[in-house]
Amino acid sequence: MSQGIEFNRLLLEMRSMQMDAMAKAKPLAPTSATPAAEGAPSFSDMLGQAVNKVNATQQTATDMANAFEVGQSNVDLTDVMIASQKASVSFQAMTQVRNKLVQAYQDIMQMPI
């Protein structure tokens, strides 16, 4: 039951991030003639934040696993496994995003001029 609650919380967090990104999106992409809006995060900032969140999730899972291994009484095995799976899923998602970015870059580079 706890795993279902954690999954729902993760899903809600992902939807919240999606809604934030959609709310900040502009109808026209900024070009050199039209500068980016003040306060709007750049793509690199958003990507950096996502990488940092994945790193934090992995660090939390590692810390929980280490705490369980040394026998701390406040750490439950199910919580350790959930944190580990959460870190795994977030890393796999980040890997897929990276693969899509690399593929998009390669597609652009192969376009005829």
Q: State both tokens at 93.
A: 């998602």
Is residue 25 included in any domain, yes or no? no
Is residue 33 included in any domain, yes or no? no
Q: What's the pLDDT score for residue 33?
A: 47
Q: State both tokens at 82.
A: 């959930």
Domain count, the chain: 1
Q: State both tokens at 25.
A: 């999106």
Q: State both tokens at 16.
A: 């919240």
pTM score: 0.62
Is residue 6 included in any domain, yes or no? yes
Is residue 95 included in any domain, yes or no? yes
- For residue 93, give its domain range: 2-14+41-109
Q: State both tokens at 70.
A: 């040394």
Q: What's the pLDDT score for residue 80?
A: 94
Mean pLDDT calculated for residue range 38-43: 77
Region of residue 110 (left: phi > 0; alpha: psi -120 to 50; beta: else): alpha
Q: Are 51 and 88 in contact (CB under 8 A)?
A: no
Mean pLDDT calculated for residue range 52-77: 93
**Predicted confidence (pLDDT) at residue 34 exceeds the cutoff of 70:** no
**Predicted confidence (pLDDT) at residue 38 exceeds the cutoff of 80:** no
Q: Are 87 and 58 in contact (CB under 8 A)?
A: yes
Is residue 73 included in any domain, yes or no? yes
Residue 63: Cβ within 10 Å count: 13
Percentage of the chain beyond pLDDT 70 is: 80
Q: Are 57 and 32 in contact (CB under 8 A)?
A: no
